[in-house]
Structure 1
Amino acid sequence: MSHMQSEWLRQLAYLVHTNRELGLMLRGIKPLSYFMDIIGQEPDICIRYWRMFDRHVALGRLVRREVIEVCPGAPQLEYRMLFYALPGHEWQVDAMLALLNEPGAWSDRRERRFGELLGYEAWQIDYWLAHRRSPAGA
C-alpha cells in the first residue's frame, strides 16, 4: 500500500480492518477475512500474520479455506485466495467466491456486498462508496 493511500485511509471516518482483522475476528466483530497474493511472492509479514490466524484455526476458533488459481494472462503464476471465517460463517466464503467470480465490471452493488461480507457496518460502506472516488483517494 502506498504512503498516499495509507494516509488517505487513516483519514476515513472509521477504522479500516486492514492489519486489525485477527483481533476483530476473535472479538466476534468480523466474520470473514480475505487475503490474496501471488504464490511465491508473499511478503514475509503476511506469512507471519497468517500463521497467527492458523494458530486459532488449530484451536477451532477460526475456519480456513485456501483457493489456488492460475493468474489470468500469466499462466506461469498462481495466486492464492486465503479466507478465514468464524465458525458458522463458512457460507460467507462461498458467498465471497461467488461475488468475486461474477462476470462483468465491478459495481457499487458488488463493492457493497464485498464490505458486508467482510463485516463492515452499513454506514461505513455508505461512507466508503461516497468517498472512495475522491481525488485524495485516487
Structure 2
Amino acid sequence: MSFDAAQLDSKDLEISLCRWRWRSSDRMPYLSHTRYELPLLLEGRKKLARMSDAYPPMKFEGEDRFDHWVAKGVLHREEVNEPFDKPVQTSHGQIYLGHRTVYYTPKGEEWRIPASRLIWDASGKSGGWNEHFERLEGMLFGYEDWQNDWWIKRGITGGGFGGLSCCCTMTAAGLTWIEAAGFRALPPIDRPTLTIRMHDWENEADQYAAMFGDPDSVAVGRFNMLGRDFMNFWKSQCGGPWELPAGSIAEFNRFLRGSVEIVARRDGAV
C-alpha cells in the first residue's frame, strides 16, 4: 500500500499513524467511533461526541475542525467547564485548574447532551457505572443494538466496567452445585480456603493447565467483581493468588457481577 501526500493538495498537513495490538478475542466486529468522531458525525452514523479532559489547555486536539462545521450550522456544540476546588499539580509539574467537556451532535440531536449528563449524574448516585449505563450511553452515541451487545459482553467478561476478571477451580461436586444454582454463585467447599486468581487473558490456556495441577479440580470458573469490593476481602491488596476462607464464600458471592462462566474443564468432566 502506498500513499502520496501531494495528492491531498495541502501545504500544512499532519499525518498521525498508530498501531493497536488486539488480542484475537478483542477484535471489534464493527468500527469504533474513537478517533473517527468527526466524519461519523458528518455522515450521520454518530449522534453524539464527547471530548473531555483537564484544563489548561482550553482546547483538545483537532477542535478547530469540529468547530468549522459548527460555524457552518451542521453540528451543534456545548461546552461545560468544572473548576477544581483548588489547582492540581502532577508529578511532572503540570497544573490543572479544572475539567472541561465539549459535546457535539448533528443538528436536531441536541437532546442527547442533557441525556448524557443525566446518565453520568445518575451513575454517581447509584453505586457507579455499570453495563446498563454503558448501554444507554452507547445508544446515545449512535451504536447499533448488536454493537452494544458485543461491547457490553466484552466489558463484563474482560474487566473495565464489568470489574476485575478472576478465576478459581472447582471439584466435581462444586461443578454440580454451580450448575444447579444456575451459575449465579461460587460453590461451597470442603477445604479451608478457595484460591482466587486474576484471569490471565494473554496466557489463559497455560493458566488453566497450571490450575489443573490440583488432582481434585475438574473445572475452572471465571467471574467478575468490582475492584473496590474485591479488595475488601484481603488484608494485602497486591500480588495474588488470594486465599478466600470457606466461611466467606457466601458473602463473597453477594458482590459477583453477572454469572460464573465455566471456561475450562478437565478431560472427562461433564
**TM bucket normalised to smaller:** 0.7 to 0.9
User: Match for residue 118 of structure 1?
Assistant: 141
- The Cα shift of 1:41 comes to 4.9
Letter in 1 for 2:21: E
Counterpart position of 2:73: 60
**Distance of 2:131 and 2:102 partners within structure 1:** 24
Change (3 A) 1:39 1:86: same
> Aligned in 2, Cα 1:56/1:125: closer, same or farther, shift over 3 Å?
same
For 2:69, the aligned partner's letter is: H
1:18 aligns with 2:18: no
Counterpart of 1:17 in structure 2: which amino acid?
A: H
1:26 and 1:38 map into 2 onto residues whose CA distance is 26
SS of residue in 2 equivalent to 1:8 = coil
Cα 1:136–1:96 shift into 2, 3 Å: farther
1:1-138 matched pairs, under 5 angstroms: 6-8=20-22, 11-41=27-57, 46-47=60-61, 49-71=62-84, 75-76=86-87, 77-102=97-122, 103-104=125-126, 105-132=128-155, 133-134=157-158, 136=201
Letter in 2 for 1:98: L
CA deviations on 1:104-133 (whole Å, 9 max, x unpaired) are 211111000011111111101100011124
Give 4+ residue runs of structure 1 displaced > 6 Å after superposition. Answer: none
C-alpha distance in 1 between matches for 2:143 and 2:201: 22
> What secondary structure, in the 3-state scheme, does the structure 1 residue paired with 2:102 have?
strand
> How much does 1:70 deviate?
2.9
**1:34 positional shift:** 0.5
- The root-mean-square deviation of aligned C-alpha atoms, in Å, is 2.5
Q: Secondary structure at the match of 1:7?
A: coil
Q: Count how many residue pairs are aligned between Structure 1 and Structure 2.
A: 129
Q: Distance in 1 between matches of 2:201 and 2:109?
A: 35
Larger Rg: 2
Query: What is the aligned-residue identity percentage?
Result: 33
- Tell me which protein shows more helix as a share of its residues: 1
Q: Secondary structure at the match of 1:106?
A: coil
Between the aligned partners of 2:22 and 2:53, the Cα distance in structure 1 is 23
TM-score (norm 2): 0.44
Taking the aligned partners of 1:37 and 1:58, their CA distance within structure 2 comes to 23
Could you say which structure has the higher strand fraction? Answer: 2
Letter in 2 for 1:87: K
